[in-house]
Amino acid sequence: MSLLFYRRPDYVAKLPGPMNLSQCQIYVDRTQKHRKAIPAELSFENVVQNRALPPCTLQDFMDYLVYVSHDAENLQFWIWLQRYTAKFYALPLSEQALSPPYSAPEAVQPTGNEVNQPPRTTEKPRFGVSEYEVNFDQQEPPMTPPGAMSPQFDKQSFISGIATTNRSVADSVEDANAQAGLKWQSFTIQPFRAEINRVISHYIAPNSPRELNLSHKTRSAVLHAIQHTTHPSAFALVHDIVEGTLRGQSHPNFIRWSICNGNKPRVLFVRNSGIAHIVAAVILAVFLICSDASRWWRLWCFPLLFVGFDIGIAAYKGLCVIIHTGHSRALRPWEQYGDGASLNSFDNHDDDEEATVGSSTDEVYSMSTPRKGGGKTSSRDISMDTFGTNNAFDHELWVDKYKKKPLLQRIFTKTVWIQNETVRLLQDRIVMQSHVLAALVTVPLTTLIVALPRTGVL
C-alpha cells in the first residue's frame, strides 16, 4: 500500500428505491475499484466475525448502521440467517427432509421450443456458514425483560415502542401473504416454521419493525419460497441483496468512517483553525511586504502556512492531528452516556486485546450479552438482538443529553485509545500525506513571499 498515494474508501451513496440484484452489482463494481483502500485485516469477513479490534468490531459496525447510516436491519437479518442456516443443517436428516431446498420456478417456454428443466439442487446454499468460525449451538436467547436493562435505558419509551409494533405474528404473515397474492397456508409440519413466521413479521412484511428495503417483486418471490419450505435456500434472493448491500455499500462506508478520529465539531474546529492560520500568514506577509522590514522577517510566514495547510488537509480527511499524536479518537455521542463498560478496555491498551479478540462471536449476537464485570445489558445491545423493536434511537437518553452539551465540550470531548493497529497505520499514512502536501505547498509560497520586493508603503 503506497504511503503517499493512499486514499480512504470513497463514500458509496445509497441508490434510490428498493434494492435489487442489479443495484447490488453496482455497489460491488464501485467498491472493486478501491479494493486496496481496505486492508485484509479490516475485511468484511473479519468485521462480521468480530476478529477486528475497536473501532472496527461487530458492535462498532452495528452502531454505525444504527446511528449513522440508519439501515441496521440488513446486518441484523444477515446475522439471523447465518445462525439459522447453521441451526437447520444441525437437524437430523429426517427433519431436514421435511423442508427440501427451494428451486425457483422456471419461466414457461413457448410451445414447440421447450427446453429441459434443470434438476433441483440438493446441495447447501452458497451462503452457508461453514466459512465462519461461529458457535451457533445455543438456542435463540429470550428477550430481556425491560426490568433487566441498564438504568441508562429509557424503559418507558422502549415499552411504548413495543406497544406500537406489537401486532400478532400471524396477522403480519397473513397480511404479507395477501399482498403477495398467496392464498394457501404454509406447511406447519416443517421445522422452524414458527421462527420463519417471526422473521416475516420482523423483516419481510410491509411496515414491519425492521422492514428490509425490498421491491414488491422480490418480497413476493421470497414469501412464495417461504410458503413452500423453511430450507435456508428459500432466502437465497434476499440474502444476495442484503449481503451485496453490506459488502458493497455499508462496509466500505463504515471503514471510511472508522478511520476518522474526530467527531464533527472537532473536525470543523480544526479545519477552521487551519484556515485561520493561513489567513494570519497572508496578513503577516502583506504587512511585511508593505513595510521597510528586512525580507527575511517574512520567513515567519512559513510556520503559519505549514500548520494551516497541514491540519486543514488532515481535517478534510476526518483526522485531528492533535488527537492523532496519542493514536486516540473522540468518543461517539452514544458512547458518552452509557454504562461505560464497553469502553473500559479501550484504555487498557494491550492488556485487553487478547480478551477482545478471543471473545465468542455468538455472545455479541445475543441481546442479553453480559458485560464484563457482570454489568447489565445497555440499550446498545438491543440492536444485536434478532427479534427486537425498530432501530429508532430518538428515545435513548443520550440524544437529549448530547443536544444540551455545550459546544466546547463537544469539541474537546473525551478520547479513547485506538486498539486496531491497522487503523492506526492508515491514520499514520494520512497524516504523513498531510505533512508532505503541506510542505509542497508552503515551500514555494514562502519562497515567493520572500522574493517579492518591498513596497515601503507602511
Is residue 132 scored above 80 in pLDDT? Answer: no
Cβ count near 115 (within 10 Å): 7
Q: Would strands 415-417 and 328-330 be described as parallel, antiparallel, or unpaired?
A: antiparallel
Overall average pLDDT of the 322-333 stretch: 95
Give the pLDDT confidence of 253-265 residue by residue, as tens digits.
999 999 999 999 9
- Measured between alpha carbons, how far is residue 142 from residues 352, 366, 367, 369 in Å? 29, 9, 8, 11
Strand partners, 19: 214
Q: What is the CA radius of gyration of the chain?
A: 27
pTM of the model: 0.76
Is residue 347 scored above 90 in pLDDT? Answer: no
Give the pLDDT confidence of 47-96 residue by residue, as tens digits.
999 999 999 999 999 999 999 999 999 999 999 999 999 999 999 999 99
Dihedral sign of CA atoms 377, 381, 383, 388 in order: negative
Give the pLDDT confidence of 270-286 residue by residue, as tens digits.
999 999 999 999 999 99
Backbone angles phi, psi at 19, to 5 degrees: -80, 145
Backbone angles phi, psi at 13, to 5 degrees: -75, 150
Is residue 28 scored above 60 in pLDDT? Answer: yes
Backbone angles phi, psi at 308, to 5 degrees: -60, -50
- Give me the amino acid identity at 157: S
Overall average pLDDT of the 407-427 stretch: 95
The model's confidence at residue 27, banded by pLDDT at 50, 70 and 90, is confident
Which set of grid coordinates corresponds to residue 412? 474537546
Overall average pLDDT of the 219-235 stretch: 93
